Amino acid sequence: MRTKVPRSGWLKRHYGCVGDNRAASDDGIGRAVIAGAPNAIVALDRDQAVLTWNPAAERLFGWPAGELLGRRAPLVPEELTAEHNAVLERVRTGGQVSLRTKRFRRDGSLIDVRVDTSALRSEAGVLLGYVSVYHLAQDDETAHDRVARRAQLVRRLTDVVADINAERELPAVLDRIAASLAELTGADAGGFVLIEGDRVRLVASHRLPDSLRDSTADLRTSLVGKLLRTGRTVMLETGDQARLDELIWSQLPGLHTIALGVAAVGGRPYGALYALFAKRKAGHVELELLELLAGHAGIAVANAMAYQEAVRQRAHERAVFDASADGIAVLDGAGRVIQWNPAATELTGFHAAEVIGGPPPFQLPEPGDKLTLQLPSGAWLDVLCAEIVETGEIVVDFRDITRAKELEEAKDLFLATTSHELRTPITVVRGFAGTLDSRWDNMTDAERRAAVHTIAERARSLGQLMDHLLLGSRAGAGELTLRIEGFDLGELLRAATLGLPVLSDLHRVEVSIPEDLPSVSGDALATDIMLGQLLENAFKYSPDGGLIRVEAWAAGERVVVVVDDEGVGIDPASRERVFERFVQGDSGDRRRFGGVGLGLYIVRSLAQAQGAEVSAHPRPGGGTRMRLALRIADTPGALT
């Protein structure tokens, strides 16, 4: 009868390490490794007595270790004894044998197993026995099936990732990720949460109630926060049911397992992918796929967010481009127009379809320079260019400076005209004053009186000119101060037109003012200045004579005064411009009639200051009609 040898005694006898603490520790670790192995491990001595029989062997064959240690295990069927002995002989002489065979279970049944056998030797190479590792042959088939399934899922993952990356809109990307998660991992439901500061928000879900979408939670206390603190990229949360019931995912009936993976790019976490299991179970393949999909999801989300930001930026740039008051054009490297904003069409008269694909319809300055040019339409443009170095494109910015150019020209003309208007009376005054000073005693009394009269007239015209300049300056600065009250416009008109018939032998003057003309609301002095300027212009711009007619009548809540002449008239395009500063209404040489171009500007400024209206119209039959409309004094709100 064979004596049962305790394993500790066998180890001491063959390794001499039982008394060594470190060896004892190593022995303990070794036993733990063997005990925790998933496959059956059986060690035999040279006589095939059992030295080691781990828990997996107990589960596989049914015999407890206590029944077999120190004796032969009745595992090998009789008809396979020769095969078994051949295997032991082969491994004794060196090498390892792996084969598929049959072995008995304790209940007498035969099972198909895969067994890997090798020799057990001492450090000196002495044969101590044999070690066999057993597992069910069907496990190989299952493993093979799992490998095939994994390969299939990985191929499917490649297709899914391609589909996800093809999407550009973030919501579509997120929904595609959530749906793919269930497809690849077999999860019963899934979702994707975005990390937004110190919160997480559910932005996409699959097979979950729609009411959960946009739910938020504190990042620190969430499962995502827990996963991030571990430093891992994937986590399986089973926990107790009470813990799971606290989460919003508990709305999935039967939830027992939550798997989640971090979606990150370049070390920056964007969110996490949740796989929820209620009926199925999560294996290592599912966790692997979850981790892979989460990694690709991070890239897809980052790309979608970047695309979304690019779209938003382009929309912003397009809004600025389209809303700009400046004309903006973009040229490609060959100088062809590729963008042309609405303001460019308005400023040049060329529509985008007319210029895109060709050169711009005007000359360009060098990049960084400015060019001022005039279009065939008469409009003036300031044109600037800037090069986009990265693309070779040219951005052209141009703005309408026609009004500024006209104002500049008007100011130049004003200076020249004012100099002329001042020089003439000053020259006359200086000449007559010098004559009086040097020839006083030689002049007759009549000659002296005539000289003094001329000086007085020229001084009066100088004073009038200065009054106009002062009024024009105050009107331009918005500093006109008027006293608004009711006054008799009829009396003012009669006084203003009283001496007109004797002013010119070439003109006929007609005045038609009804006796019952209502009083008006305004400033009497300002109105007198307006009437004087309108009457002066009527004579001034009809140099060949003709009819000057002044007429007034009541019309609704206004009193209308018109001054007609048969003069040169006003070009239709200039009927509003004549009320601007430094502009004259004649259609020919601006200096033909003299003056500084402030008269009608002052008239309109004074009219607007007292709530009146003044406008220029063509007179039937030729000439000009100036129309002044003042509010009737008893009109509600007129006296202010």
pLDDT: which is higher, 267 or 141:
267
Q: Percentage of the chain surpassing pLDDT 70?
A: 80
Q: Quick one: pLDDT at residue 358?
A: 92
- Same structural domain for residues 89 and 195? no
Grouping H, G, I as helix, E, B as strand and the rest as coil, residue 368 is coil
- Same structural domain for residues 508 and 607? yes
φ/ψ (deg, to 5) at 194? -95, 145
Average pLDDT, integer, range 83-104: 87
Average pLDDT, integer, range 611-626: 91
Residue 363 lies in a domain: no
- Same structural domain for residues 446 and 574? no
Average pLDDT, integer, range 628-637: 79
CATH number at residue 589: 3.30.565.10
Domain boundary residue, one of 267, 290, 309: 309
Residue 389 lies in a domain: no
- Same structural domain for residues 490 and 610? yes
Q: Quick one: pLDDT at residue 266?
A: 79
Q: Could you tell me the residue range of the domain that residue 522 belongs to?
A: 480-631
Looking at the structure of the chain, the number of domains it has is 4
Please give the C-alpha separations between residue 212 and each of 186, 259, 309, 361, in angstroms, as whole numbers. 21, 18, 26, 58
Average pLDDT, integer, range 46-63: 93
- Rounded distance between C-alpha atoms, residue 200 and residue 193, angstroms: 6
DSSP letter string, 240-292: -HHHHHTSGGGGSTT--EEEEEEEEETTEEEEEEEEEESSS---HHHHHHHHH
Residue 379 lies in a domain: no
Query: What 8-state DSSP symbol labels residue 517?
Result: P
- Same structural domain for residues 60 and 183? no
pTM as predicted:
0.41
- Same structural domain for residues 583 and 441? no
Q: Quick one: pLDDT at residue 203?
A: 87
- Same structural domain for residues 557 and 597? yes
How many residues does the structure list for the chain?
640
Instruction: Confirm if 211 and 232 have CB atoms less than 8 A apart.
Output: no
Domain boundary residue, one of 257, 278, 309: 309
Residue 508 lies in a domain: yes
Q: Quick one: pLDDT at residue 639?
A: 40
pLDDT: which is higher, 393 or 243:
393
Q: Quick one: pLDDT at residue 183?
A: 79
Residue-averaged pLDDT of the chain: 81
Residue 357 lies in a domain: no
Q: Say if residue 555's pLDDT is above 90.
A: yes
Residue 327 lies in a domain: no
For 179-220, what is each residue's pLDDT tens digit? 887 777 888 898 888 899 999 999 888 888 888 889 999 999
Lowest mean pLDDT among 252-266, 537-551, 573-587: 573-587
Q: Say if residue 387's pLDDT is above 50.
A: yes
- Rounded distance between C-alpha atoms, residue 451 and residue 431, angstroms: 9
Q: Quick one: pLDDT at residue 563?
A: 94
CATH number at residue 205: 3.30.450.40
The listed range with the strongest mean pLDDT (203-212, 278-287, 316-325, 459-468) is 203-212
Residue 284 lies in a domain: yes
For 20-40, what is each residue's pLDDT tens digit? 555 556 667 778 888 888 899
- Same structural domain for residues 535 and 426? no
- Same structural domain for residues 124 and 225? no
- Same structural domain for residues 544 and 457? no
3-state SS, one letter per residue, for 441-501: HHCCHHHHHHHHHHHHHHHHHHHHHHHHHHHHHHHHCCCCCCCCEEECHHHHHHHHHCCHH
Lowest mean pLDDT among 229-243, 343-357, 474-488, 571-585: 474-488
Instruction: Confirm if 626 and 638 have CB atoms less than 8 A apart.
Output: no
Lowest mean pLDDT among 9-18, 297-306, 588-597: 9-18
Domain boundary residue, one of 250, 281, 309: 309
DSSP letter string, 561-608: EEEEE-SS---GGGTTGGGSTT----SS-TTSS-S-S-HHHHHHHHHH
| Neighbour count for residue 94 (Cβ, 10 Å) | 8
CATH number at residue 83: 3.30.450.20
Q: Say if residue 349's pLDDT is above 70.
A: yes
- Return the structure tokens found at 10: 């066998």
- Same structural domain for residues 103 and 199? no
φ/ψ (deg, to 5) at 427? -65, -40
Residue 17 lies in a domain: no
| Residue 18 pLDDT grade (very low, low, confident, very high; cuts 50, 70, 90) | very low
The percent helix, strand, coil of the chain (3-state, each to 5) is: 45, 25, 30
| Residue 6 pLDDT grade (very low, low, confident, very high; cuts 50, 70, 90) | very low
- Same structural domain for residues 246 and 177? yes
The candidate with the shortest Cα–Cα distance to 248, out of 294, 202, 179, is 202
Residues 6+ apart with CB under 8 A from 389: none
| Residue 13 pLDDT grade (very low, low, confident, very high; cuts 50, 70, 90) | very low
Q: What angle do CA 399, 403, 408 make, to 5 degrees?
A: 110
For 147-184, what is each residue's pLDDT tens digit? 666 665 666 666 666 666 666 677 777 777 778 877 77
